[in-house]
Chain A
């Protein structure tokens, strides 16, 4: 049985760690990134099944990262859940225009987070099998 990988991009170590702890309890593998560069590297290397993306990040914001990911054919199908402290309609619209799948407002409830993540992981194996298979040998080589 393959385990889905979720990428958490947030500049706050607290949010990264808490999301990691919450999702790992649900048997979901979590990788984290604190800025745009490491996020895009992680997307290319690990091909996550889902991305949780904070909007306010140093240097490049979440909207831009989302747009970059969406421009690539290979990563277009990855669901992106935006995390933000702003809950205005304009912010949500901007997220949607950048290509996000869902918008979670901080502070979010941990049960709500799990529910939302699971909603998008239901069919992840069908969505991204070739890329996930591609990642496995690379991980083995590391060992």
Chain B
């Protein structure tokens, strides 16, 4: 009720466009807030005596202006971090710019230019809205801005010019939310392509996270020009368009995988018997590898755009990529020879059922070799999956960090086992019982081969290895 009383006028954008509304408010020198919304996007424009004093664009998350300025070399990222600027200013662009002025890293004139640009950019975009509503409220919205009042006519003139430029552009596949990232596979010398300074700046901002609209704000170039530069870089195959929705889905899927296997690992850590614990570790690693392979068969870039694939095709794709690596690894860890690829999955059942054939120290040793081999293979599969699916993106980097944390937990588990083995060997050596220990352990390459009877040789692998550790 209170809000309704506060409202001076409202209406449909189809009846009265944003341009007309703004002109009317400028002429009558109104003070208050104009809310314009179309679909999920909302613009709040604060006016004082018919001049713009603030604007909030709620359609998009606020871009990280400090990070963008760091990427184009305008501010020093290390100093930004050292001064905890992100914590101080949060996501607010006006606050970030004001802080830069306070630190003498930016002139007040540049701050005003950037704020003015942001206002023009948002209004230019909103001028395209046909369906939607507007409402003008008498009350001023409290906005965190250092903007000097702007003349509506000059803002509208520039906004219309920018909107016109967009329409003439014709790059229909690029929108203001399009994000791009540079391709890792670039082999040519970028300097030989004759790129100008603006194109290089766009290239610097192409990290897969920054939308076109934010790039324009960082570079103070109209969005249409940024779109043209992006199109140019795409032609040169220096960058690629990022599908943010797909990337979010990929991240969710891989995150769920990590959460699942971390929880399993934590549960297995409660097992006291070493060979059972090693078996548990090998089980988790093999399941994790298979889950990653299944994920990759759904999301691999190499399989995208081919329509619905048969499971055979996906399996062949996976096997062509991952079997050679596995075979190489099997030379180092012969126990892996007993596992095999079936339908795009790694079948480790022969390793995981070894307890039916082998017992005691030999069993423990085989499990240990399997855990080592599978952990190494998991690393290989993972790095390939992340490289292929995410390239140079920030999401890929973040996932890499998380997976590394998980692999570190796996390594810790293995280190604990090594310590346990070392302690046991020392105790055995002290009690003069080394003969028993060495006689039952296999040599390093004594893994059972496929089709061969699993008979153990004798050797001194563990004793020497443990001593060297």
By a CB distance below 8 angstroms, the chain B residues around A25 are 248, 251
Query: Which chain B residues (81-103) contact chain A, with CB distance < 8 Å?
Result: 83-85, 87-88, 90-92
Give the contacting residue for B88; candidates A2, A13, A18, A140; CB below 8 A: A140
A interface footprint on B389-420 (CB within 8 Å = 1, 0 otherwise):
00000000011011001101100000000000
Can you list 26 A-B pairs, Cβ within 8 angstroms, ordered by A? A1-B144, A12-B266, A12-B409, A13-B408, A13-B409, A14-B402, A14-B408, A16-B405, A17-B402, A18-B258, A21-B255, A21-B398, A21-B399, A21-B402, A22-B255, A27-B61, A56-B266, A85-B263, A85-B266, A85-B267, A108-B259, A109-B259, A110-B255, A111-B252, A143-B84, A143-B87
A-B contact number at CB 8 A: 77
5 additional A-B pairs beyond A18-B405, A21-B399, A143-B88, beta carbons within 8 Å, are: A13-B405, A107-B263, A109-B256, A139-B87, A139-B88
Task: Say whether B42 faces chain A, with CB atoms less than 8 Å apart.
Answer: no
Which A residues are CB-close (under 8 A) to B267?
85
Task: Say if the beta carbon of B260 comes within 8 Å of chain A.
Answer: yes
A21-B402, A27-B91 known; A139+B256 contact, CB < 8 A: no
Complex contacts, A139 vs chain B, CB 8 Å: 84, 87-88
CA separation between A18 and B259, bound complex, in Å? 8
Interface string of B186-207 (1 = CB under 8 A from A): 0000000000000000000000
Say if the beta carbon of B355 comes within 8 Å of chain A. Answer: no
Chain A's closest residue to B403 (CB) is A14
B92 pairs with A18, CB closer than 8 A: no
How far is the CB of B141 from the nearest CB of chain A, in Å? 12
Q: A127 at the A/B interface (Cβ < 8 Å)?
A: no
Distance of B286 from chain A, by nearest CB (Å):
17
A90 to B310 alpha-carbon distance, docked (Å) = 46
Verify if B262 is at the interface (C-beta below 8 Å from A).
yes
What is the distance, in angstroms, from B240's C-beta to the closest C-beta of chain A? Answer: 21
Cβ-defined partner of B259 (8 Å) among A13, A56, A107, A143: A107
Most buried by B among A16, A17, A25, A139: A17
Tell me how far the C-beta of B259 lies from the nearest C-beta in chain A, rounded to whole angstroms: 4
Which B residues lie within 8 Å of A17 (CB)? 401-402, 405
Give A40-82 interface residues, CB cut-off 8 Å to B: 56
How far apart sit A15 and B260, CA to CA, in the bound complex (Å)? 10
Number of B positions contacting A (CB below 8 A): 31
Q: Nearest chain-A residue to B412 (Cβ)?
A: A13
By beta carbon, the residue of chain A nearest B258 is A18
If A1-B90, A17-B401, A27-B61 touch, whether A143 touches B85 (CB-CB below 8 Å) is yes
Mask of A4-27 contacts with B, CB within 8 angstroms, 1/0: 000000001111111001100101
Please list the residues of chain B having a beta carbon within 8 angstroms of any beta carbon in chain A: 61, 83-85, 87-88, 90-92, 144, 248, 251-252, 255-256, 258-260, 262-264, 266-267, 398-399, 401-402, 405-406, 408-409
Chain B residues within an 8 Å CB radius of A14: 258, 262, 402, 405-406, 408-409
6 nearest CB pairs, A to B: A106-B263, A107-B263, A107-B260, A14-B405, A14-B406, A13-B405
Tell me the complex Cα distance, A111–B84, Å: 30
B255 touches A18 (CB 8 A): yes
B88, A3: Cβ atoms under 8 Å? no
The answer to the question of A142 belonging to the interface, with a C-beta cut-off of 8 Å to chain B, is yes
CA distance A143 to B89 in the complex (A): 11
Chain B residues lying within 8 Å of A106, measured Cβ to Cβ, are: 259, 262-263, 266
Using CB atoms, name the residue of chain B closest to A111. B252
Residues on the B chain within 8 Å of A109, using CB: 256, 259
A104 to B157, CA, bound (A): 54
Contacts of B91 in A (CB 8 A): 1, 3, 27
Residues of B within 8 A of A22 (CB): 255
Question: How distant is B210 from chain A, measured CB to nearest CB, in Å?
Answer: 15
- B residues in contact with A18, CB < 8 Å: 255, 258-259, 262, 402, 405
Residues of A with C-beta under 8 A to B61: 27
Nearest CB to that of B86 among chain A residues?
A29
Q: Shortest distance in angstroms between B255's beta carbon and chain A's nearest beta carbon?
A: 4
Residues 74 to 101 of chain A near chain B (Cβ within 8 Å): 85
Write the chain A residue with the least CB distance to B253: A110
What residue of chain B has the Cβ atom nearest to residue A109's Cβ? B256
B256 touches A107 (CB 8 A): yes
Chain B positions within 8 Å of A16 at CB level: 405
Specify the chain A residue showing the minimal Cβ separation from B257: A107
Alpha-carbon distance A18/B262, docked complex (angstroms): 11
Q: Which of A102-117 touch B at CB < 8 Å?
A: 106-111
- Tell me, in angstroms, the Cα distance from A14 to B263 when the chains sit together: 10
Q: Which residues of B contact A27 (CB under 8 A)?
A: 61, 91
Chain B residue numbers with a CB within 8 Å of A85 are 263, 266-267
